[in-house]
Chains A and B, each alone.
Chain A
Amino acid sequence: MTEIRIIVCAKQIPDPEAPLSDVSVDAEKMEVIVDAPQVISPFDENALEAAVQLKEEMGGKITVLSLGKKVSDTVLRKTLAAGADELILLEDDQFEKLDSHSTATALAGAIQKIGDYDLILTGRQAGDWDSGQVGLILGEMLALPCISLARDISVEDGNVVVKKSIPVGYERVKAKMPALVTVSNEVGELRYISRTKMLKMMRGSRSIPSWSAGDLNVTPEALQKMGIAELSSPPDMGRDCQFIEGSSDEQAEKLAAVFQALR
């Protein structure tokens, strides 16, 4: 079987699993402030896992693209430790707070610069803005077959075969490569990376290329900001939790009484 060339688009975001208390909204600056470590957006990690599985099966090359005003290569080097062969950061002051269309424009520029590929994988949506647009817009821009919400991806004779989630179960679909697939979490979480492997990759002297808007032939006019008119905190979700104390037997008895009262 021929080797496969996969491009994975991975976004760096503040940890979406951060506790409520670490998140605040600056309504004036219209920014969500998250006091949490930067991570790779969860569905993008699922996309990388799908890519690594395909590479293990067929051999080939995985290139990870990550776009932002400033991307931390220490966060993104995890992708190399997990099995990616190449990491390219797309960094430019103009890449701040881009709308989905503009983000896809810049990614399309990078992908055209890379040239050859069989598959582009993205997460179904990013864990910060939850928009779910960039992958599919990118596919349209590159005039590729687009498949969304993949839970399983395989390759047969130059075609990608995907199990995509639909409301009644799943649909098995097929498209000629190159193609774009957005990946959902059923694919499975990104494999465990040992601490030693991670540290080795972090301390590695390997230099990570960084491309600017100019390198991608993207004009400033093509890069539009998200049109945010207003940003606010959501209504308070908190309740007064009544903790049930005692031995587990006592706790069970009290909890059973709670259920009894709710009947």
Chain B
Amino acid sequence: MNDVLILGEVKAGSLDLKTLELLGAGKKLAGDLGGEFSVVLIGDTVSGAADEALPYGPAKVYKLEHPLLQGFKADLWLACLEQACGEINPKILLMSHSFIGMELGPRLACRLNTRLTTDCIDLAIDPKDGLLLRTKPVSGGNAISVFKCPGEPQLATVRGKVFESPEAADGKGEIVEMVPHIDESMIKVESLEIVKEEIVALDKADVVVSGGAGLGEEDGFELLEELREALSKSFGNVMIGCSRVAVDKGWISSDHQVGLTGTMISPDIYVAVGISGAIQHLVGMVHAKKIIAINTDPGCNMFKVADYGVVEDYEEIIPALIEKLEELS
């Protein structure tokens, strides 16, 4: 019985953290259905990861290995996944809401003529009809919607950090090899090069100093950088964040972006400078332990979610603040 199938992702030969969380989700749903869950792994070498998955209790770990599957090529992965669904015939297929799941999910849904719900924060089985209930924030986080859709497999991509990875124990599952039916002619999008950039890992920050449209100009981030340096003398990881608007305006690179389509963070302190607080931004930082807002508009959204507010021009208050912080440190 293959009730729930999970698409695992492999990083440096090992299952990534989001896959472990998916295993937790899969185990729970399979339990509710009174059935089993399995894992499918796609890549050039996934045997080590397959062995890693077994103790978490899947009935089967399906391996699709092929030299062409080195790196993520969506066209080939899609063909593998389509093939796996055809042979395994799962009721439910779950993927991470990662860049892989975000691309494969909609395209697979089209090919299998089923319906997908993306970025789910909860999943459950409706006891009345055994269908998957897919909970997802909509309207940038202004509402929470539960979807139930026809078609199999029932497809969902799942947000990170909402499910817990299950305890590893003695798994009795087996590893099943599937031979991928792929060849080079399926690659419609050719990879020319991968350019690695120095990426700011905002989710590892203890303190985030963030700027938005209210900075008025790119140079505003220089002042924020000075504040970041001053705070670094008293706090651990202090990083620069920003709103989507700041990226749109070309003031700063998108790895600094906080919010629904940027990074979702919960640092000890979040300092919002000139950010009015669009909902899609607030959902990305509202779980910070303390929120400090600096803005000239006393009516803006950011003050509604802040612990401390300063209604003042940032160009006045921040240099003065840096001075005081230096005196204290």
Contact = CB atoms under 8 A, between A and B. Distances in A.
A171 B144 contact: no
Interface in A99-158: 99-101, 104, 124-125, 127-137, 139-141, 145-149, 151
A129 B137 CA distance: 8
A16 B143 CA distance: 12
Interface string B84-100: 00000000000000110
A174 B254 contact: no
B216 interface: no
* SS class, residues of chain B in contact with chain A: mixed
Contacts of B293: 241
B328 interface: yes
A251 B306 CA distance: 16
A184 B99 CA distance: 13
Contacts of B199: 167-169
A53 interface: no
Interface string B268-302: 11000000101110100010001111000010010
Interface stretch (A58-66, A71-79, A207-215, A227-235): A227-235
B197 A170 contact: yes
B328 A239 contact: no
A32 interface: yes
Interface stretch (A4-12, A19-27, A83-91): A19-27
B182 interface: no
A229 B196 CA distance: 42
Given A168-B199, A171-B195, A252-B321, A239 B291 contact: yes
B57 to A, nearest CB: 28
B118 A32 contact: no
Contacts of B136: 130
Give the residue among B196, B282, B308 with the most A Cβ atoms within 10 A. Answer: B308
A175 to B, nearest CB: 5
A186 to B, nearest CB: 5
A241 B307 contact: yes
B308 A255 contact: yes
Nearest to B254: A186
B255 to A, nearest CB: 9
Interface stretch (B34-42, B48-56, B167-175, B186-194): B186-194
Interface in A160-205: 161, 163, 165-176, 184-186, 188-189
A260 interface: yes
B189 A133 contact: no
Given A32-B139, A244-B308, A251-B317, A172 B195 contact: yes
Contact of A185 (B142, B248, B298, B303): B248
Contacts of B321: 252, 255-256
Interface stretch (B25-33, B59-67, B147-155, B218-226): B147-155
Interface string B309-329: 111100011001101110110
Interface string A239-258: 11111100011011101101
Contacts of B268: 262
B102 interface: yes
A16 B280 contact: yes
B143 A189 contact: no
Contact of B147 (A125, A168, A226, A251): A226
B237 interface: no
A128 B235 CA distance: 37
Contact of B148 (A166, A175, A229, A253): A229
Give the residue among B140, B253, B307 with the most A Cβ atoms within 10 A. Answer: B140
B103 A136 contact: yes
Given A133-B118, A175-B189, A188 B107 contact: no
Contact of B102 (A148, A170, A176): A148
B144 A133 contact: no
A168 B197 contact: yes
B110 A147 contact: no
Given A100-B116, A132-B118, A230-B146, A241 B303 contact: yes
Nearest to A231: B145
A30 B286 CA distance: 25
B139 A34 contact: yes
A86 B269 CA distance: 48
A229 B309 contact: no
A228 B115 CA distance: 12
A185 B145 CA distance: 25
Closest CB pairs A-B (n = 3): A252-B320, A169-B197, A256-B324
Given A99-B115, A137-B110, A256-B327, 9 more contacts: A16-B140, A131-B117, A131-B118, A137-B106, A165-B99, A226-B147, A243-B310, A251-B320, A253-B324
Interface of B: 74, 98-99, 102-103, 105-107, 109-111, 113, 115-119, 126, 133, 136-150, 188-197, 199, 231, 234-235, 244-245, 247-250, 253-254, 260-261, 268-269, 276, 278-280, 282, 286, 290-293, 298, 301, 303-312, 316-317, 320-321, 323-325, 327-328
29 contacts: A16-B139, A16-B280, A17-B276, A23-B279, A25-B142, A42-B248, A100-B106, A124-B261, A127-B140, A130-B140, A131-B117, A139-B107, A145-B188, A146-B189, A151-B254, A168-B194, A170-B197, A188-B250, A189-B245, A227-B147, A228-B147, A239-B304, A239-B306, A241-B304, A244-B309, A251-B312, A251-B317, A258-B308, A263-B234
